[in-house]
Amino acid sequence: MSLPLERIPTPKSERFKYTNLPRTLKGLDLKPASLGWGNKIAVLEPKAPGAEQYRDTELWAINAENVSDIRFISGDDEIDVNAKDGQFICPRIVIDVKDNQTVTVVERQGGAGAYWKNTVVQVTIGKNATLRHYRICDEAEKGVSTIFTHVKIGRDSTYEAFCLTTGAGTIRNQTHGELTGENAHCWLSGVNLLSSAQLADTTITIEHQAPHCTSKQTFKSVLKDQAHGVFQGKVHVHQVAQKADGYQLSNALILSPEAQMDTKPELEIYADDVKCSHGATTGRLDEEPLFYMRARGIPESVARALLIQSFCGQAVESISDESMHEVVTGKIEQWLQSRI
Amino acid sequence: MSSITEETIETVKSLNKYEAGFETDIEMEYAPKGLNEDIVTLISKKKNEPQWLLDWRLKAFRHWQKMPEPTWAKLDIPAYDYQDAFYYAAPKNMKKLKSLDEVDPRILETYKKLGIPLKEQEVLLGVEGAPQVAVDAVFDSVSVGTTFRKKLAEAGVIFCSISEAVQDHPELVKKYLGSVVPFADNKHACLNSAVFTDGSFVYIPPGVRCPMELSTYFRMNAKNTGQFERTLIIADKGAYVSYLEGCTAPMRDENQMHAAVVELIAHDDAEIKYSTVQNWYPGDEEGKGGIYNFVTKRGICEGRNSKISWTQVETGSAITWKYPSCILKGDNSQGEFYSVAITNNRQQADTGTKMIHIGSNTKSRIIAKTISAGRSDSTYRGLVRIMGGADNARNFTQCDSLLIGDQCGAHTVPYIESKNRSARLEHEATTSKISEDQVFYCQQRGISEEEALALIVNGFCREVLQNLPMEFAVEAQKLVAISLEGSVG
């Protein structure tokens, strides 16, 4: 079977402006496969959320039509999604957090060889509940991984997500968060560490649909060699969502002459009693602290690594689970040791 | 309380919503309604243009027919019938005037009512030492007069309408026309290239600092016409010019199209400062009528150490679609963009800038303030692109939005693209409403709510208004207050 190439959005589509998926997938010889979870058990959400309004949910539709595996999660869990060489798979993960519960889910995305993995994660959080969703993407150099996460957050509930990306040749991490109940919170953060010709695209849409909601996005990108980082964040505050507090931050460090970063933080606001802001910076490592440390006998590579580590710190700090915090810190250190 | 604020409040109270909304009753000469190759040829013939320009217009027109309407902006644009408008309208009996005294008194009266002195002595009659401003007045499709010609000519500055420039300085026009905004750039610019009727032409020779502010005042008067002017400003090596643009139109129920093109060229060490106060008729409270303002403005910093600065105060128009841009090609060149965009009632605005960094050590600075009130929608859309060769490029962007009332929308859509490691880019944006604390503080001290609003909004825009030339700054502050009239409570 050939891939549904004509269905995949091109950079002509506003939300895929910086990521050319059809070009990346064109030469790959892939066959539909499965992870062996089974796919005959659920009634899937037939229509992608916000399809008409945002026109950026094509990947959801492709997943729905070609779904290969389905997995249900309702309590603490760890899940591995590993693709093999030559596979085209469309796993669907459904997370349902009931009222008054606190759940932690760790999702590890991996793979070997060349593949296209088009994952959809569908999350519903009830009232007065918390989901901590940690994702580690450490994928194959030739792999293409697209992940669409859709989250519905109910009254007095919190969705805390962190994503560490060190891998996949091309990775698109798209999140659509709906704050549907009053006093709901959506906190997203992530660190992208990229080298060689990798591309990591973080695309976010947050909809404030009820009053007194907060949303935070804190993303850090470190780009080496010919790596390409993309951040597109959108906060949409509906008219009813008064007293909204929305914040977006994207910082990028460019470490080599060929690396590039594209940032598009968007605010779309229809309520007047709001506090929304965003910040975005792109630049290189500051020479002064580097010099300071070298003057005190710290080797340059160590000094660089320290600075990059502290650069990522702000995003990593948002992880409230201590063991996960350690795992992520360790992984960042490991990457820095091998690459810097 | 400062005197300006008091004055602002008085202006708000004494004025009807759109003071420039009157109509001048004057006999006009029209080209037939509609748009086709014959009309394009007719405009060219009327202006006695050389063949190359007619060919260029026709080429643009043929291309325009194939171009789709741009739909990417966050605007709800009703379909516009291009065939149901006049593309050429000029006051009758326009002959070559020897001096400004020969201008139709009714036209002079129009400009006087708008506060634009078309007589040189009126300016001189003012306070001694008051800054002088040379004015090129464009009335519908034609330029009706340019003041201070002699004084400018002494300095070597060429300031005239573009039709005159085509006749008198064809080599300059041919060299630069379309060099910054090619005719195929976008649909509106393409239409302008085909049917542009007049506009201003400025050339500042090497090393000359233009002795006074130059300004063009656009007035759309005739019914069912579109205004398509073209402005071309060239600052040669080491030259400096400050240029102001103002615009108004009568109040009408139908929508009129304004699709202008402005091109700026700054050579080595040259500086161009371009300020606009846009006050086209915005339509009534229900959104009936008003001007569609689809403008393409772009400047190129061609030479080293050159600088282009855009300042705009956008208060009018039913729909604004405008992105004054800078191409920073020369090393060490600088681009600046200061903007205040105010929308009220049913107005829509999608405006911002583009800064393309090509040369090394290029710098750009963007300060955009957006204020939405009533049922309006306002968007800041901006692009900062750092090309691979732009070593040590630097950008700072700040966009702030203020919402007044819960029926309006304010949006921020920045695109930030960096391909150079040594570049540093910073972007920040905020959206908020006028804080109740601030209003309460003012009210406690005996300042009414409406006054407090004007005070706070003027403070919010201060950074931008400061960059306007003196004469414009006062005007702009008043406009800011007027535009927001009725949005309290």
Structural domain spans, chain A: 5-284
Average pLDDT of span A88-111: 95
Tell me if B433 and A256 make a contact (CB, 8 A cut-off): no
Spell out the residues 6+ positions from residue B79 whose beta carbon is closer than 8 angstroms to its own. Answer: none
What is the distance between the alpha carbons of residues A245 and A275, in angstroms, rounded to a whole number?
A: 5
Whole-model pTM: value is 0.86
User: What is d(CA A9, CA A63) in angstroms, rounded to the nearest whole number?
Assistant: 14
Closest residue of chain B to A231, computed from CA coordinates: B416
Question: Predicted confidence band at B339 (pLDDT cuts at 50, 70, 90)?
Answer: very high
Q: Does A240 touch chain B (CB under 8 A)?
A: no
- Provide the pLDDT for residue B246: 80
User: Does the pLDDT at position A139 exceed 80?
Assistant: yes
Confidence of residue B87 (pLDDT cuts 50, 70, 90): confident
A-chain residues near B417 (CB < 8 A): 260-263
For an interface test with B, which of A250, A262, A268 has the most B Cβ atoms less than 10 Å from its Cβ? A268
Compute the distance between CA of residue B445 and CA of residue A134 in angstroms, rounded to an integer.
Answer: 53
pLDDT band at A298 (very low <50, low <70, confident <90, very high): very high
Distance of CA B479 to the CA centre of its chain: 15
Q: Is B422 on the interface with A (CB under 8 A)?
A: yes
> H or E element: which one contains A323?
helix A322-339
Q: What is the Rg, in whole angstroms, of the alpha carbon atoms belonging to chain A?
A: 20
Q: What pLDDT is recorded for position B4?
A: 47
Q: What is the pLDDT of residues B441-467, one digit of tens each?
A: 999 999 988 888 888 888 888 888 888
Suggest the residue from B386, B421, B434, B488 to mutate for an interface test with chain A (most A CBs closer than 10 A). Answer: B421
A253: closest CA of chain B, how far (Å): 8
Do B337 and B310 meet the contact criterion of CB atoms below 8 Å apart? yes
Query: Hey, is the C-beta of B430 within 8 angstroms of any chain A C-beta?
Result: yes
Give the separation between CA B246 and CA B58, rounded to whole angstroms.
29
What is the pLDDT, as a whole number, of residue B487?
64
Q: Above 60 in pLDDT, residue B11? A: no
What digits encode the pLDDT tens for the residues B162-207? 888 999 999 999 999 999 999 889 999 999 999 988 888 999 999 9
The answer to whether residue B424 neighbours chain A at the CB level (below 8 Å) is yes
* pLDDT at residue B141, rounded to an integer: 64
Does the beta carbon of B435 lie under 8 angstroms from any beta carbon of chain A?
Answer: no
Q: At what angle do helices A300-316 and A287-295 cross, to 10 degrees?
A: 130
Q: How far apart are CA B176 and CA B220, in angstroms?
A: 27
State how far the Cα of A275 lies from the Cα of B432, in Å rounded to an integer: 5
Task: Please compute, for residue A314, the number of CA atoms within 13 A of its CA located in the half-sphere on the CB side.
Answer: 14
**Using the beta-carbon criterion (under 8 Å), do A273 and B406 form an inter-chain contact?**
yes
Q: Residue B71 — very low, low, confident or very high, per pLDDT cuts 50/70/90?
A: confident
Nearest in space to B144 (alpha carbons), one of B123, B178, B116, B125:
B116
B21 exposure class (CB count in 10 Å sphere: 0-12, 13-18, 19+): middle
How far is residue A258's CA from residue A256's CA, in Å, rounded to a whole number? 6
Confidence of residue B486 (pLDDT cuts 50, 70, 90): low
Tell me which H or E stretch contains A307.
helix A300-316
Yes or no: say if A335 and A150 are a contact pair by the CB < 8 Å rule: no
Q: Determine the angle formed by the axes of helices A300-316 and A322-339, rounding to 10 degrees.
A: 150
What string of H, E and C letters represents the secondary structure of A68-123?
CEEEEECCCEEEEEEECCCEEECEEEEEEECCCCEEEEEEEEEECCCCEEEEEEEE
pLDDT for B436 equals 82
First to last CA, chain A: 41
Closest approach of chain B CAs to the CA of A156, in angstroms? 24
Q: Is B420 on the interface with A (CB under 8 A)?
A: yes
Closest residue by Cα to residue A181 from A107, A105, A125:
A125
CB atoms B406 and A272 under 8 Å: yes
Using the Cβ of A279 and the Cβ atoms of chain B, whether some distance falls under 8 Å is answered with yes
Model ipTM value = 0.86
Cβ within 8 Å, pair B427-A261 = no
Percent of chain B clearing pLDDT 90 (strictly above): 40
Residue-wise over B203-216: b if at least 16 C-beta within 10 A, else e? bbbeebebebbbbb
